[in-house]
Structure 1
Amino acid sequence: MTPTRWTTPVGVAVVTAVLGFALVGPLEMMGLRLTQLPWTAVAAVLLLAVVVLVLGWPVRRWTRGHRDRPLDPLRAARTAALGQASALAGAALVGWYVGQVLHLLPDVAFPLPRASVVNLGVAAGASALLLVAGLVVERWCRLPPEDDDEPGPGGGRAARPTA
């Protein structure tokens, strides 16, 4: 699995922001009111960010040398995948909420759109925290560079290149 580059979440956020901006108007004309966001949506995203960090913590401890317990490699790989998925989901949510905020900005002088802009801004902030938590956990799951003095696969020393 390759590490997530910063351009990938930025690209996802920009694409979903454009989609959010373009789709909110037509969907509201069809009777859907997307800009009313319940507080539970924000709480769920924040809870997910905390869960991702909690699941990544044992992997971080193990990679930092606290190896009092063995770490299942499959669990570490799944945690890295969860980190990457959380980063991309957080980026998509940031873009979606920012697109809706951009759609509502011309009407921000009125009370209802202003309240929606504040709610969507808070949701975008929570989604940004999920994005950061995912990237942090993914970084925690990186293995340190292998040392040449470690035993090789057959139990002997690793072969050193000769110059």
Structure 2
Amino acid sequence: MHRTRVRTLVALAAAVAVVGALLLRLLESRRVYLPAAAWVEIFAVVLLAGLVVGAGWSVRAYLRGDKPDLDPLRAARTFAMAKAAAYTGALLAGRYVAHVLVMLPELEVEARRDQAVVSGVAALAAVGLSAAGVLVEKFCQIPPPEDDDGEAEPLPS
């Protein structure tokens, strides 16, 4: 599996934000109001980011030689979890940014301003989840094998 590109995550978040903002504006024009982010969502996203980094830290310790007993299947699962966290963070960031974009014209209304602030903080937490996923993917990167001369062999494409 290849590592996730940050450019892909940014494009995904931007696409979700634009499409989400358009859909939210359409719904609100028909007097359908979807709830904005809640503080418990922010807590859950931050907790998830911490769990991803925690799982990745053990793989990092193994690759550095600090932890000699690690199941290779666990390392592969950690990489897959990190990739999922990176994409989930990008999707959530787009969703929360869409809420902020919809509420920008009405920031003088206190309730809308509060919703925009919570959604903005949630977007930052989602970016943190995505960053944690990308970081843990890097933790799971195996160094290239060395040949008999002690020089690293290039990885096959």
**Do both share a fold (TM > 0.5)?**
yes
In 1, Cα distance between equivalents of 2:108 and 2:9: 32
Amino acid at match of 1:75: R
User: Conserved in 2, the CA contact under 8 Å of 1:53 and 1:133?
Assistant: yes
TM-score (norm 1): 0.85
CA distance in 2, matches of 1:130, 1:92: 11
Alignment-derived partner of residue 152 in structure 2: none
What 5-or-longer segments of structure 1 have no aligned partner?
Answer: 151-163
Structure 2 match to 1:133: 132
Residue matched to 1:12: 12
Match of 2:43 in 1: 43
Residue of structure 2 in register with 1:148 after alignment: 147
Q: How far did 1:31 drift?
A: 5.2
> How much does 1:32 deviate?
4.2
Taking the aligned partners of 1:33 and 1:44, their CA distance within structure 2 comes to 23
Matched, 1:91 2:90: yes
**Shift, 1:29, TM fit:** 4.5
Of stretches 81-90 and 31-40 in structure 1, the one that deviates more from structure 2 is 31-40
- Quote the RMSD (CA, aligned, Å): 1.6
The corresponding residue for 2:53 is 53
For 1:89 and 1:28, locate their aligned partners in 2 and report how far apart those are by CA, in whole Å.
26
- What amino acid is the match of 2:144? P
TM superposition shift of 1:143? 0.2
Contact 1:93 1:127 in 2 (8 A): yes
Q: Distance in 1 between matches of 2:46 and 2:128?
A: 7
* Residue 99 of structure 1: how far off its partner (Å): 1.4
Q: Letter of the 2:90 partner, please give it.
A: A
TM superposition shift of 1:96 = 1.0
Give the distance between the partners of 1:71 and 1:37, measured in 2 at CA.
Answer: 38
Q: Which has the larger radius of gyration?
A: 1
For 2:131 and 2:97, locate their aligned partners in 1 and report how far apart those are by CA, in whole Å: 17
What is the CA–CA distance in structure 2 between the aligned matches of 1:96 and 1:33, rounded to whole Å? 15
Aligned partner of 1:121: which letter?
A: G
